[in-house]
Chains A and B, each alone.
Chain A
Amino acid sequence: MNPSASDKLRSAWKQAAESESTAGGAGPGPNLDRQIRRHARQVLKKGPPSPGWIWPASAAASVVLCTSLMLQMARYFQPPTPPPDSYQPRYIKPLPPRDVSVGESTAVSDAPVVLDLETVAPRVDSPEFWWEELRRNAANADREAFLATWHAYRRHLVEAPLPEDLKQWVAQNNIVLPAP
């Protein structure tokens, strides 16, 4: 191999290119030629690809956006500030206290019946007091309240029987009362 091998290869390549040119296949077509030249002229008429004010404007917009974002992030990570001395919590009107005295009905309440024994203490030894309560529970068809009252009744008056109307209500409602 001698140094002229490269030259011969290149020479053969160039000759082949020339023959391609002669055959019309080694270059862009005339339409493409015109298109590219026309484009080159048109962009000169239009001026520079982008106006000069776009870069400063977009840079300024970027600064504003970044600053806003950083401020928001700083606020997010800042510990909460304590309330000032003059701070007063908003007044919330308290709910009225529940009246759980014996005389008030608890029929529509889901809360269990609680008897204030101090209030009713003078009366707990009276069977009529308990029957009255039991009848109120029966009238409200409140089985749980009825049972709770019945247990309390039994604790105070172990031997006292139920009156007939209450026995019938117990039987009608399939309530099994535990033995004393």
Chain B
Amino acid sequence: MTDTVSQGLTFPPASTTRTAAEEPERCTDRALMQRYAEGDAAAFDELYERHKGPLFRYLKHSVGIDAVAEELFHEAWVRVIDARERYIASARFSTWLYRIARNLVIDRHRRPRPLPLEAPDALPAGNTGAAANDPDERRLGPALRAALSSLPLEQRTTVLLHLEQDMTLQEIADICGCGRETIKSRMRYATAKLREALGDLYESIC
């Protein structure tokens, strides 16, 4: 049974936060973090390798500028490193990691200093890999990223966490520090805007 929001994005069936023990493919995140806290540097390398791509994409699509995303990415990992002994594996490691990242994004947006006076980094167009045989699917990726960049920050965060991490509504709510229903509402609005922005492309695929 899936949790469908506005007949758009579907969520995993879990209605509550998944714990580390319930995440077979992620369960080692906790162990890796504990090993790193005990002094195993290789454990951090593995943890970092596992999360660096999705986290960077989340930050990049949240702030829109590579340089700022790199700055926040660095800061997020520094906080993870500094908090290695305080980390409590009550939830998934990724939930904790993305909560740090989201707070950094919000702080960045609240900072009085304006973002650099440059256009958001151009999104790579066209080539979406050999796996996409359907021409509509090849077009959908870049169009989806462009549509995402037009969403308000909170809605963008919700969609990004869902697309990148397959997170449940409750997990996203934990990261954002709000209720599950709020996230559900944000996702509903975001889906409607994405559908409008993608137009026929969305309809033809979905």
Residues of A near any B CB (own CB < 8 A):
1-23, 25-29, 32-33, 35-37, 39-41, 43-44, 48-49
Contacts and interface: CB of A to CB of B under 8 A. Distances in A.
Given A5-B8, A10-B163, A32-B74, A19 B206 contact: no
Contacts of B82: 43, 49
B52 A28 contact: yes
Interface in B1-58: 2, 4, 7-11, 36, 39, 41, 44-45, 48, 52-53, 56-57
Interface stretch (B89-97, B99-107, B123-131, B169-177): B123-131
A89 B74 CA distance: 74
B2 A3 contact: yes
Interface of B: 2, 4, 7-11, 36, 39, 41, 44-45, 48, 52-53, 56-57, 60, 66, 70, 73-74, 77-78, 81-82, 84-85, 121, 124, 127-129, 131-132, 137-138, 140-142, 144-145, 162-164, 166, 205-206
23 contacts: A1-B8, A4-B206, A5-B8, A5-B205, A6-B11, A9-B9, A12-B137, A12-B140, A13-B145, A15-B132, A16-B141, A16-B144, A18-B128, A18-B131, A19-B129, A26-B56, A27-B57, A28-B70, A32-B73, A32-B74, A36-B74, A39-B78, A43-B84
**B interface majority secondary structure:** helix
B41 A8 contact: no
**A interface majority secondary structure:** helix
Contact of B70 (A1, A4, A10, A29): A29
B73 A12 contact: no
Given A10-B163, A19-B127, A39-B81, A3 B70 contact: no
A33 B129 contact: no
A159 to B, nearest CB: 97
